[in-house]
């Protein structure tokens, strides 16, 4: 019994394979398996896309001029600060000593000059210049020490919120120690490739989607395209900024990821064909149509812009209702 069932199953499989072979042979002879397309009018849209992040319009990356010991940190991440508020203070003992020493030197130099001027005519010209030079140098040293004293504290240059704090009391401050941003003004910053940037202008439509908000799409405006390139790992980009969506009532935070699509070209109500039907040779671009005796022949065409959906504009060479075929070499051989 099992042997009979096995024979039946094998027979069914053989018959099925034979049927598939016959179907392919039959179709290849009547040409019905050749993919075709009826030319019609449609819209062609070309976009460029890139990813970036939300950035504040106004922000401050704060750092000290020289490394020094931190003695006070008055704010933490998330704290709101005001312009002019003291945020971090460095150890000032050495600077205070330097200022006191410089003041003494200034007093000595000025006193020496006053005494010398009582008998100014007794000094040679070069001696007078040396006396005056000592005073200038002493004052310069004092001004320098006083400037260093001002650099022992970080003062917020804007109203905003602290988003980074990279130092603690007792540590030596080096590099950027704090970042303050203005939450009331945000924009999107995107690095566009030089090829895409060359197609863009501020009047074009753009759409943004945010990872944090389920890729909901919003219409946005292009604010600026930097006139000078930036290099990232030897690749040329142009920094482009976009305004946040005006109709977006959700909380957008600095650093959120965003994808932007910019419509750089659009043609409405033009003849279109799928790009996969278009071939090319030394004479130009062409598609296949059926000619005499149902033979496939080349019809040369002039194309325009290519759309994101795989369609291409046909400027010349075809009419509405024309039928084109996706013919390959094996199809021609069969015919």
- pLDDT at position 201 is 92
pLDDT at 29 over 50: no
Q: What is the pLDDT of residue 214?
A: 82
Instruction: Say what the pLDDT of residue 141 is.
Output: 87
Average pLDDT over every residue of 225-242: 92
Most confident of 8-22, 59-73, 265-279: 265-279
Percent of the chain with pLDDT over 90: 39
Examine the pLDDT at 59 and tell me if it is beyond 50. yes
Lowest mean pLDDT, pick from 18-27, 55-64, 89-98: 18-27
Q: Which fold has domain 48-58+185-266?
A: Elongation Factor Tu (Ef-tu); domain 3 (2.40.30)
Over the stretch 112-143, which tens digit does the pLDDT of each residue have? 889 888 888 888 889 889 989 988 998 998 88
**Quick one: pLDDT at residue 249?**
58
- Position 51 scores a pLDDT of 93
Q: Give the model's pLDDT for residue 247.
A: 65
**21 — pLDDT class (breaks 50, 70, 90):** very low
pLDDT over threshold 90, residue 22: no
CA angle in degrees (0–180, nearest 5) for 267-272-278:
125
Residue 25 has pLDDT above 60, yes or no: no
Q: What is the mean pLDDT of the chain?
A: 84
pLDDT at 30: 44
- The answer to whether 99 and 145 are in contact (CB under 8 A) is yes
Report the side by side order of strands in the sheet with 59-63: 59-63, 176-181, 160-165, 80-81
Q: State the pLDDT at residue 13.
A: 56
Give the H/E segment covering residue 97.
helix 93-117
pLDDT at 27: 41
* Model confidence at 210: pLDDT above 70: yes
Indicate the pLDDT class of residue 238, thresholds 50, 70 and 90: very high
Q: What pLDDT, on the 0 to 100 scale, is given for residue 9?
A: 61
- Statement: residue 191 has pLDDT above 90: yes
* CA 222, 223, 229, 230 torsion-angle sign: negative
Give the pLDDT of residue 314. 92
Instruction: Tell me if 80 sits within 8 A of 184, measured CB to CB.
Output: no
pLDDT, one tens digit per residue, over 136-159 is 998 998 888 787 777 788 889 999
**Whether the Cβ atoms of residue 331 and residue 296 lie closer than 8 Å to each other:** yes
Domains of the chain, residue spans: 48-58+185-266, 65-87+157-184, 92-151
Reading the block at residue 325, the tokens are 């075929």
- Checking if the pLDDT of 292 tops 70, the result is yes
At a CB cut-off of 8 Å and minimum separation 6, what does 120 contact?
A: 128
């Amino acid at each position: 019994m099992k042997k009979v069932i096995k024979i039946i199953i094998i027979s069914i499989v053989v018959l099925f394979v034979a049927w598939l072979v016959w179907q392919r042979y039959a179709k290849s002879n009547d040409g019905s398996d050749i993919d075709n397309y009826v030319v019609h009018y449609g819209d062609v849209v070309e976009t460029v896309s890139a990813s970036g992040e939300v950035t504040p319009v106004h922000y401050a990356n704060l750092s000290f001029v020289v490394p020094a010991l931190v003695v006070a940190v008055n704010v933490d991440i998330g704290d709101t600060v005001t312009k002019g508020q003291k945020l971090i203070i460095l150890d000032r003992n050495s600077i205070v000593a330097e200022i006191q020493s410089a003041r003494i030197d200034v007093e000595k130099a000025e006193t020496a000059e006053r005494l010398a001027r009582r008998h100014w005519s007794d000094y040679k010209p070069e001696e007078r210049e040396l006396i005056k030079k000592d005073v200038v140098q002493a004052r310069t040293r004092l001004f320098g020490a006083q400037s260093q004293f001002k650099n022992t504290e970080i003062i917020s240059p804007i109203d905003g919120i602290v988003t980074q704090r990279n130092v603690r009391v007792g540590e030596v401050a080096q590099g950027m120690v704090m970042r303050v941003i203005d939450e009331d003004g945000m924009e999107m910053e995107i690095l566009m490739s030089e090829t895409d940037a060359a197609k863009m202008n501020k009047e074009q439509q753009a759409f943004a989607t945010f990872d944090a908000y389920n890729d909901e799409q919003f219409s946005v405006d292009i604010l600026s395209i930097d006139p000078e390139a930036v290099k990232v790992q030897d690749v040329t980009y142009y920094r482009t900024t976009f305004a946040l969506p005006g109709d977006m009532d959700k909380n957008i935070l600095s650093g959120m990821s965003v994808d932007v699509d910019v419509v750089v070209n659009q043609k409405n109500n033009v003849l279109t064909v799928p790009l996969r039907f278009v071939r090319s040779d030394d004479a130009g671009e062409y598609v296949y149509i059926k000619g005499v005796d149902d033979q496939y022949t080349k019809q040369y065409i002039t194309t325009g812009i290519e759309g994101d959906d795989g369609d291409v504009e046909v400027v010349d060479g075809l009419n509405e209702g024309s039928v084109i075929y996706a013919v390959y070499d094996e199809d021609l051989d069969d015919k």
